[in-house]
Structure 1
Amino acid sequence: MSRNHPDVVEALPQVPVDAPGAPPACRGRLVETARLQWRVADGGDPADLAQRFLAAHGVPTDDLARPARHTPDGVCGAALFLSAAAGAHTIGAPPGAPSPAPALPDLAVVVYHHTDRPPTRRPTPDRWWLGDWQDSWSATEHAAAVDAVRAAIGRGDVYQVNLVGHAAAPYAGDPRPALARLAALPGARYGGTLTGAGWAVGCASPETLVALEHGRLVTRPIKGTRPATPAGRRELLASAKERAEHVMIVDLERNDLARVARTGSVRVDELFAVRRWCDLWQAESTVSAAPADGLGLADLLRAVSPGGSVTGAPKHAALAHLAALEPVGRGAGMGALGWIGPGRLDLGLTIRTAAADAHRLHLWAGGGITWGSDPAAEVAEAAAKAAPVRALLAAG
């Protein structure tokens, strides 16, 4: 575990901040003033560590229901990244296989203060090269894992499991501009980056893990995918299999929020709305609840992480199955990335997310498996989700 505590804001370099969820009006006038990085091997509870670290640096999160006001001076807030493995760790579930990108932390909290000095311009990269992608499992192995999940469903072990695959490619040059381009993908509600020494994460996620909007906790699970054509939209809306899979996860998210909500306040505001991400239609619902009095960030993270749409149902049983079936860990994928500040909480689920270590780019993609899943179709769906991200990362 590492901590960084710069003392004098005026002595720090100002750089543009494009962390997902950061206040747009502040992004050009921020400096990093404190950083916490943690890995599962460090031990302890990352949710508690994050809450205590934020409080120590002027971002109290012990009562999310308490009104707070963002001011243009002093602390602005913090970017927060929590890996899927860290989320599993917080609830005592198996963390899965080791990460293929161990340079990435499992928790990163980066605190920013406002400043009025001009930002430091990043140098323009003089070259960028991306090699061939190598998948961590073959299409045949992926299909076999789908069959294994269907067998577990047949035995009554689980109702749904979200299987995720990984690919990596060598690169040369600065990966940060390539990762930053992901924010331009259509539908990237949580487009942005977060970087550290020897690592970087770029996100193009459309999915809200949890946000605080108008005094209510909100989550927007996505389940159900088809090509973004008129026929694809009709097929998605008419699919009994996709709707059943989707409603199952909506129920799971309702249950997760109910653990930290005011009694009787959980509701489904929108069910199975079809929205577009790049060249895909996806089904999205909105579930909201009033936070319980005294709800702190740590309890909220433990309730919603890892996200139900990328684990399955029941969540603990699904996590045990995916830990046994996925050949490598989820690294930066299927976790949380966003912003926490006075009066602001907005965390996206890190689907459609890539990461860089010193030598390779990494990408994760998958889908939910039910009894009605076709193995070949599931393999194709994961490839379709990864394709726009791969194409943009390869662009010069």
Structure 2
Amino acid sequence: MSQRHPLSWREPWPLVQALAAALGSEGLVWLDGDGSPQGRCSRLGLAPLEQRVCRGLPGQAGAEDPFAELAALAEGGGHWMGWLSYEAGAWVEPASHWHHPDMALLWAARHDPVLVIDHEAREQWLEGEDPTRLAAFATLLAGLDLDGAGTHTPADPPQAAIPPTAWHWHTPPERFAEQVAQILSWIAAGDLFQANLTACCEHQLEGAADPLALYGRLRRACAAPFGGLAIAGAAAAGEAVLSASPERFLRVDGAGLVETRPIKGTRPRHRDPEADADAAADLVCSPKDRAENVMIVDLLRNDLGRVCVPGSIQVPQLVGLESYRQVHHLTSVVQGQLRNGLTAIDLLRACWPGGSITGAPKIRACERLHGLEPVPRGPYCGSLFRLGSDGSFDSSILIRSLLLRGQRLRAHAGCGIVADSDPGGEAEELGWKLQPLLEALA
């Protein structure tokens, strides 16, 4: 049975730095909220008790079904956190339209205890099932010197800055616009209704990577309600996910209430209040962005309908404006009640990959996108997740995210394409989304 040990409040970033210095960052997972209503609480796990890794696609030697592995973890109990990659969709819809992932398809770690941070109430506590470990972590936390050696401030991280010109683009803006035009031709022919096209750039770091320092820059510049950091250990050592995502994928509480919060529609923020208000109004009044959002809501209602009680699916918020530090978004909320006998992993499999980062029809969109995107998405467009010992589940859509593999760092972003999309405008929107990430590291 889980126990709670209350702690005195200390600022999260110095606290995480000090804990990583004391316990090591390998296996660290930080599901990092921004203090907003959706990002009220953060959860941090270090020094995991065990880890699980799945790699490979169906039919490949040694490949393992990540959904079956997650189901086994859920049945075994404990508090698990980690990532699931976009290409896990090959285990839902086996076909040739999936890139071979070059990062772990699933990486998950079991932590006991977990540090919980309530940003709004300014409260912190440990949650754990092993009283001995709970007491040991509490003693460690009480003795931490947050001003001592082994920590660094987010204003002066040891990781070298990355100039914007140092990034290599796999899909330059002009090529992205051409790909948008190709998708528009498929939409005109009735082959698709919508597709979420993505692009990425990468940089080869000099020297050893410091994912915690990189994430410190990212969270300072791009705080988000579903941000987070996962630094893999064991069989996935050298891999890490750094995210500033504003989008929840799926949440299931202990009573089986399901929620998803798809985002479609984006405008950049402006320092001038009048210009900023105009941008928000333009987004709210845009027929193109509203249609894109509603289309994905319909897709997700269908996905949830596979595993939810008939008649339970509701849309309490349709195309609502939500504003973040760098951008305005249109967000909808879809809810349902999970059927008796089904679990969060059944829900995850029924909805994977997320509708907001694929398109409609989903399978056809995945096929077409595979032919346009030159590299695997990996954890990008996948999910950072938390699986509780009580059957609860929460997860993000990994947009606005950086992927680290060894010394290779990738930044990804994407745009939803519908019939009245403008190729040049979509390429510009891609820049709005990637620019804050690149500037944070510069």
Question: TM class by shorter-chain length?
Answer: 0.7 to 0.9
Amino acid at match of 1:130: I
Taking the TM superposition and a 5 Å limit, the aligned residue runs for 1:308-323 are 308-323=355-370
Structure 2 CA distance for partners of 1:180 and 1:126, relative to 1, 3 Å:
closer
1:65-116, Cα deviation, whole Å (9 max, x unpaired) = xxxxxxxxxxxx11131111113432335453344xx2x2110111111233
Aligned to 1:4: none
Aligned to 1:27: 44
Aligned: 1:158 with 2:198: no
1:175-229, Cα deviation, whole Å (9 max, x unpaired) = 3311244334455111110012111111110101001246410000000111221
Which of 432, 436, 439 is the aligned partner of 1:384?
A: 432
Amino acid at match of 2:226: Y
Aligned to 2:110: 111
Which of 195, 220, 229 is the aligned partner of 1:193?
A: 229
Which of 372, 375, 385 is the aligned partner of 2:420?
A: 372
Aligned: 1:252 with 2:299: yes
Q: Take 1:301 and 1:169, find their aligned partners in 2: how far apart are those partners? A: 32
Q: Secondary structure at the match of 1:236?
A: helix
Q: Take 1:184 and 1:93, find their aligned partners in 2: how far apart are those partners? A: 40
Structure 2 CA distance for partners of 1:168 and 1:313, relative to 1, 3 Å:
same
Q: Secondary structure at the match of 1:130?
A: coil
Q: Secondary structure at the match of 2:175?
A: helix
Taking the TM superposition and a 5 Å limit, the aligned residue runs for 1:73-152 are 77-99=79-101, 102=102, 104-114=103-113, 115=133, 116-117=136-137, 118=140, 124=152, 126-130=158-162, 132-152=166-186
1:141-195, Cα deviation, whole Å (9 max, x unpaired) = 1111111111111111110010000110122342331124433445511111001
Percent identity between matched residues is 33
Structure 2 CA distance for partners of 1:142 and 1:54, relative to 1, 3 Å:
same
8 Å Cα contact 1:183/1:190 also seen in 2: no
**TM-score scaled by length of structure 2:** 0.76
**TM-score scaled by length of structure 1:** 0.84
Q: Secondary structure at the match of 2:48?
A: strand
8 Å Cα contact 1:190/1:338 also seen in 2: no
Q: Secondary structure at the match of 2:50?
A: strand
Structure 2 CA distance for partners of 1:335 and 1:122, relative to 1, 3 Å:
farther
Q: CA RMSD in A?
A: 2.4
Q: Take 2:427 and 2:396, find their aligned partners in 1: how far apart are those partners? A: 24
Aligned: 1:182 with 2:182: no
Q: Structure 1: any 5+ residue segments left out of the alignment?
A: 1-11, 60-76
Aligned to 2:279: 232
Q: Take 2:332 and 2:223, find their aligned partners in 1: how far apart are those partners? A: 15
> Larger deviation: 342-351 or 168-177?
168-177
Aligned to 2:75: 55
Q: Structure 2: any 5+ residue segments left out of the alignment?
A: 1-21, 34-38, 114-132, 270-275
Q: Take 1:126 and 1:224, find their aligned partners in 2: how far apart are those partners? A: 36
User: Would you identify which runs of 4 or more consecutive aligned residues in structure 1 move more than 6 Å?
Assistant: none
Aligned to 1:202: 242
- Cα offset, 1:129, TM superposition: 3.8
Q: Take 2:381 and 2:53, find their aligned partners in 1: how far apart are those partners? A: 18
8 Å Cα contact 1:209/1:307 also seen in 2: yes
Amino acid at match of 1:252: L
Q: Take 2:95 and 2:330, find their aligned partners in 1: how far apart are those partners? A: 28
* Equivalent residues, number: 361
8 Å Cα contact 2:222/2:437 also seen in 1: no
